[in-house]
């Protein structure tokens, strides 16, 4: 991980603003999802890209019992959910 030397303060509602340069570098647009993780003493954020829990495909995704699954994996599992 590398530092980029930008400091932002947290507002009274707990929000921070991602700098324009960072949003452009990471191709983050308005209303995009961002995942937030804690790694020991660090807060890690990354752009959210949903994918199938079985094959990591990002194509033809469905919610099945609270999990994201692609059409191919659903068909392979013999599910008639579609």
pLDDT tens digits for range 14-64: 999 999 988 998 899 999 999 999 999 999 998 988 899 999 998 999 888
Q: Give the side-chain half-sphere CA count within 13 A for 66.
A: 0
From CA 21, how far away is CA 80, in angstroms rounded? 45
Three-state DSSP at 69 gives strand
The pLDDT score that the predictor gives to residue 4 is 67
The pairing of strands 61-64 and 67-70 is antiparallel
Domains in the chain, start-ordered, CATH in brackets?
Answer: 1-48 (2.10.260.10), 50-82 (no CATH)
The pLDDT score that the predictor gives to residue 79 is 55
The pLDDT score that the predictor gives to residue 66 is 87
Q: How far apart are the first and last CA of the chain?
A: 41
From CA 79, how far away is CA 64, in angstroms rounded? 10
């Amino acid at each position: 991980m590398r530092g980029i030397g930008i400091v932002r303060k947290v507002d009274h509602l707990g929000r921070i603003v991602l700098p324009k340069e960072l949003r452009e570098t990471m191709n983050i647009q308005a209303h995009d999802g961002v995942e937030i993780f804690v790694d020991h003493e660090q807060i890690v954020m990354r752009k959210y890209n949903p994918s199938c829990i079985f094959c990591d495909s990002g194509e033809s995704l469905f919610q099945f019992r609270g999990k994201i699954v692609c059409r191919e994996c659903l068909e392979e599992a013999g599910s008639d959910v579609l």
